[in-house]
Structure 1
């Protein structure tokens, strides 16, 4: 066997690099052979050292979900009295009845404990009249229920009273009616009937609260006299 028979011509491939075809040749004999008494061993391509396996990449950190805290169930607030009422349903009507009776008794006691005093009433009112044209002021007395004429007006006082001792502010008030004086017709003038110009309560502390509507005169109560029976002055 000659060397030429054992060795196949190299082929070019893989980008021009010579690649031996010893193993791929069908006539390849792996046994050693001799040429002129010299031993030759067939060429055995060295095994390529295996590349170390690539270190696997560390897995990407996964986001950690915080452990969910236990959800507490919300319950409606129940007052201790309601819990006791639910625990003792038979005693509930008795408790309600006793509470209502105690509240009614306390309210009755509070109402009955305070009785406002009656306002003292008088038989005569003291009226002050003002002439707004000449600023003349005159005071006169008007007995209860008796009309009094003054300056062309008729005053009729129906009540005159003062504040009681338990009231916060002292005041004098009178309920009166004021009318114009009727004028009889003459040959030269036309007569006029009586006309009401004021009716209501007049207060001494605030005469402008309920003023009399008249272009010339104004009047209000300033005091009371002659206490009536059953009242104190």
Structure 2
């Protein structure tokens, strides 16, 4: 009996300590969407501030949150979105409520008879730009620099 209790305790401890560390998600003030008008074949990119709404054709897109991960982590961009359709008499009918994933647009996009809408990203205009890596400068001796018009060796 003691061995089985010890084994269970050890297994529980191993499960707790071996799980991957999750990076904190970053909340962004703007969600970026793409929308396809199936009648005209035109795809449009549009931004919607969190808590506000934008009309795209006869649908209204309203993101509640938009999360990303730090640049050092695997990309994972998600947004919880509500989408209404405007019907006759200017009434609204909710046609989508749920999470959209930028890395998997086909997983939870709105597929409407006339319009498709999917998340493409999140944006924070006040966030510092990501660091840009530059190649190190290399000093080349002047006698090794080939001048224009010189024959090759």
Q: CA deviation at 1:227?
A: 8.6
Tell whether the 8 Å contact from 2:30 to 2:66 is kept in structure 1 after alignment.
Answer: yes
CA 1:207 to 1:106, structure 2 compared with 1: closer, same or farther past 3 Å?
Answer: closer
Q: Whole-Å Cα distance in 2 between the matches of residues 166 and 104 of structure 1?
A: 34
What is residue 105 of structure 2 aligned with on the other side? Answer: 207
Matches within 5 A, 1:30-45: none
Whether the 8 Å contact between 2:78 and 2:101 is mirrored in structure 1 is yes
Residue in structure 2 matched with residue 220 of structure 1 by the alignment: 118
Quick check: 1:128 aligned with 2:26?
no
CA contact (8 A) 2:111 2:117 kept: no
Contact 1:148-1:155 within 8 A present in 2 as well: yes
Structure possessing the higher relative contact order (Cα contacts under 8 Å, 6 or more residues apart)? 2
Rg comparison, structure with higher value: 1
In angstroms, what is the RMSD of aligned CA positions?
3.1
Q: Is the 8 A contact 2:109 2:119 kept in 1?
A: no
What do residues 113-160 of structure 1 show as CA deviations (whole Å, max 9, x unaligned)? 544333333221101111111111111111111122232321110121
Match of 1:170 among 54, 69, 75: 75
TM-score normalised by length of structure 2: 0.65
1:179-198 per-position Cα deviation (integer Å, ceiling 9, x unaligned): 12355xxxxxxx24111121
Quick one: structure 1 residues 155 and 178, their matched pair in 2 at CA, closer, same or farther if it must change by over 3 Å?
same
Q: TM-score scaled to structure 1, two decimals? A: 0.45
- Count residues with an aligned counterpart: 126
Q: In structure 2, list runs of 5 or more residues that go unmatched.
A: 131-153
Q: Kindly tell me: are residues 170 and 214 of structure 1, through their superposed partners in 2, closer, same or farther at Cα, counting changes over 3 Å?
A: same
- How does 1:90-129 map onto structure 2 within 5 Å? 96=2, 100-101=5-6, 103-105=8-10, 107-112=12-17, 114=19, 115-129=21-35
How much does 1:211 deviate?
A: 3.4
Aligned to 2:48, the other structure's residue is in SS state strand
Provide the rounded CA distance (Å) in 2 between the counterparts of 1:146 and 1:192: 19
Report the secondary structure of 1:170's partner residue. coil
Distance (whole Å) between structure 2 residues aligned to residue 101 and residue 166 of structure 1: 39
Secondary structure of 1:209's counterpart equals coil
